[in-house]
Structure 1
Amino acid sequence: MTTTTRDPDHEELMRLLLSIARSDRKAFQQLYQKISARMFGLCLKLAGQQELAEEALQDAFVQIWHHAGEYHSDRGSPLSWMLTIARYRTLDLMRSRAVRRSNGDEHLEYLEDQRSGPLDESLRSAGAKQLTGCLDELSDVQRDSILLSYYRGLTHDELAMALSSPIGTVKSWIRRGLMALKRCLER
């Protein structure tokens, strides 16, 4: 005899998602109250910045509002599906902000008082630009694994949880991604 254990909130989350799919604002408010703290915790752990985590949380709930009707049990439990949305929204925002930070060389000019000018900054950041370009060549999972490991300091276990993947797979993504980065940077 096998018994399956379900998250006690599973049925309630299913009911709320069905109501949200019919544009029920009250159900959306209830869902937000029920899971926003947990989703925010995930976003904050991944991003390490409250502002970015708040933006990712808001974006995730907007996606849930618009796509609640697309949820089906093949995608895992309702909570897992929503946490995955939050996770990927956070990673997307982290990636887009990293790219924006590296594109600041439009106004290059010399400063007469010997302070570092934008050109000096540009020369210093040339290596960062090359690295950003090489990161863009990696697969999404390789790039996310490396960024979360090296920039956020997540352990392999934390990465496996954050990316919902086995630890061996995460280690392989990092190893292969680093080898690809090395090849790219040596060109």
Structure 2
Amino acid sequence: MDVETSRALLSRAIARVANRDDDALKYVYRHTSAKLFGVVLRILHDREEAEDVLQDVYLTVWNKAGRFDPEKASPITWLVAMARNRAIDRLRARGSRVMAGVDEAEAVPDSAPLASTLVETDEEKARLDGCIDGLEPKHASAVRTAFFEGLTYDALAQAVGVPLGTMKSWIRRALISLRACLEA
């Protein structure tokens, strides 16, 4: 099955979930749970907690599927963003802080799929990479670390050695630039 067909089927299934279709939710779960679990586990580093967060994600899908707009994002992008946000919320709730520096992350083996593999087509990936590469290097690095590696803004600010407000400003400006670049 090609990417466009898969995306269309998943979009239709999410639309059916909005109408409380149990079978549609099962379809969405069957086709996305492994990927979403990998994202959540990579952020939380705790299998049991990742399973709990994943359950919360699908409960949210059940309750908020009507908010999904296939014109704004692909279904997997919408789901990954939701899973990532839930995992980061869980980190914040338990008061976790990243103790190791960003430089040490490269040496840690990880069998989970990279976030970059979540970008559904080569064309989208190339376009996104081009837009990120057009950012100031420190902003590009912050965006990649926050969104592709799951580091919280606070942990990223500590790792880079800048105030939290500065990190938030960098990422906000970078996201505004990315939006403009991707919409062009």
Length-normalised TM-score, structure 2: 0.57
Q: Deviations over 1:35-79 (max 9, x none)?
A: 111111111111111012111111111111111111102431011
**For the Cα contact (< 8 Å) 1:159–1:170, is it kept in 2?**
no
Pairing of 1:43-82 with structure 2 (within 5 A): 43-82=40-79
Per-residue CA deviation, residues 139-159 of structure 1 (Å, 9 max, x unaligned), is xxxxxxxx49749x645xx99
Query: Matches of 1:22 and 1:45 in 2, distance apart?
Result: 32
SS state at 1:42 partner: helix
Q: Would you say the 8 A contact 2:44–2:50 is kept in 1?
A: yes
> Alignment partner of 2:20: what SS?
coil
SS of corresponding position for 2:95: helix
Match of residue 7 from structure 2: 10
Unaligned runs of 5+ in 2: 107-112, 120-127, 144-155, 165-184
1:149, 1:159 within 8 Å by CA — same for their partners in 2?
Answer: no
Aligned counterparts of 1:15 and 1:149: Cα–Cα separation in 2? 42
Q: CA RMSD in A?
A: 3.4
Equivalent pairs: percent with the same residue?
25
Distance in 2, Cα, partners of 1:41 & 1:95: 19
- 2:161 counterpart (157, 161, 178): 178
Q: Which has the higher contact order (CA 8 A, sep 6+)?
A: 2
How far apart, in 1, do the equivalents of 2:27 and 2:36 lie? 14
Inter-partner Cα distance in structure 2 for 1:87 and 1:27? 22
Q: CA deviation at 1:26?
A: 1.2
Gaps of 5+ in 1: 100-131, 133-146, 182-187
> What CA distance in whole angstroms lies between the structure 2 residues aligned with 1:79 and 1:61?
13
Query: Is 1:17–1:68's contact at 8 Å kept on the other side of the alignment?
Result: yes
Give the total of aligned pairs.
128
Shift of 1:83: 0.9
Q: TM-score, normalised by structure 1?
A: 0.56
Structure 2 SS opposite 1:73: coil
* Distance in 2, Cα, partners of 1:32 & 1:148: 33
Bigger radius of gyration, 1 or 2?
Answer: 1
- Distance across 2 between alignment mates of 1:86 and 1:150: 24
- Matched residue of 2:163: which SS? helix
**Aligned ranges for residues 155-166 of structure 1 at < 5 Å?**
161=116, 166=132
